[in-house]
Amino acid sequence: MSTLEEQPMASTAISHAYEKRMMVFGGRSSQELAAKIAQNLEIDLGQVTLKTFADGEVYCRYEESIRGADVFIVQSTCQNEQTGMTPNDSLVELLAMIDAAQGASAHRIIAVMPWYGYARQDKKSAPREPISARIVAKCLEAVGVDRVLTMDLHAGQVQGFFHVPVDHMTAMPMLTQWFIDQEMGDELVIVSPDAGRVKTARNFARRIGTQWAVMEKERPAQAVAEIGYVVGNVKGKTAVLVDDMIATAGTLCAAAQTVIDEGAARVISCATHGVFSGNAYERLADSAIEQIVVTDTLPLRPGAPANITVLSTAGTFADSIRRIFTDDSVSEIFAGENQLF
């Protein structure tokens, strides 16, 4: 009886020397920030052609191969007057860049959205309204995004609108460090403009080592804010109004006047996102606010007052992008304190 010679088992995988590639591209609303992020990562910013046709439609084409690469697309869905982009233009351009990257066989596509447009429309405030923050999430997933990286969302529940992973970052470490570097000491009191930001104000004050207070606020209509009174002691102190964004600055200016009326020596405003929409610049120029500190998640509109200080988020985004690329923890950058809702 003959026996069959034992045959070597076939391998279940093909051995191949595969080297991961990271590529960073910037949309037209965030080109300056994207360039700084690439510089921090010590790589060249990827080449992509972006333009708007005469009829208003946007166009995108990658000018180099992105096959097999982890593609990070930096785009705040905001207005950029210098490049002629509206928030809706920025969103559609981001969707086009994601779709083009998927069609070009990118390995992973990560939308880096320093400012997540429509985040304030996270729930229905009246019957028959859309939940626009959810619409944006659905659109991003529909065109093939694999991951989203964003900073200081207006509402934490926006993360729940996604089925893909969302890495949430915060600018709090760099903002608190700025105040520590100013060596203002015990004269500071951190003030939350409303009850919804109490946790943020408390954590901000803890990091600096000072006291905090909260303001009672009523909003009788959309984009109209009425400030009542301050819960906490601001008399003779430098009041730091902390929020996630400054939009029309109506709430902020009313809050500043209230803390001055209650005895604060001076007022500084601090926020991650400087939207500065509508008549914000004019309101701030006429307000009691001495200094305004924001980050570069959105480009400043032309004509910004001289008392606005802009801190760069490029290093923080670069660290997070590097960790996503190497499959390491993003939350470790913030010691687990990046969910401040």
Active site residues: 217
CA gap 297, 75 in Å, rounded: 9
313: closest CA among 148, 223, 178, 124? 178
CA distance readout (Å), 148 to 6, 98, 119, 215, 306: 51, 11, 14, 33, 34
CA gap 88, 105 in Å, rounded: 26
Q: Look at the block and give the residue holding tokens 């460090």.
A: 177
DSSP 122-153: -S-SSTT---HHHHHHHHHHHTT--EEEEES-
In SS3 terms, 255-287 reads as HHHHHHHCCCCEEEEEEEEECCCCCHHHHHHCC
313: closest CA among 115, 181, 171, 119? 171
CA gap 327, 62 in Å, rounded: 25
Max intra-chain CA distance, the chain: 105
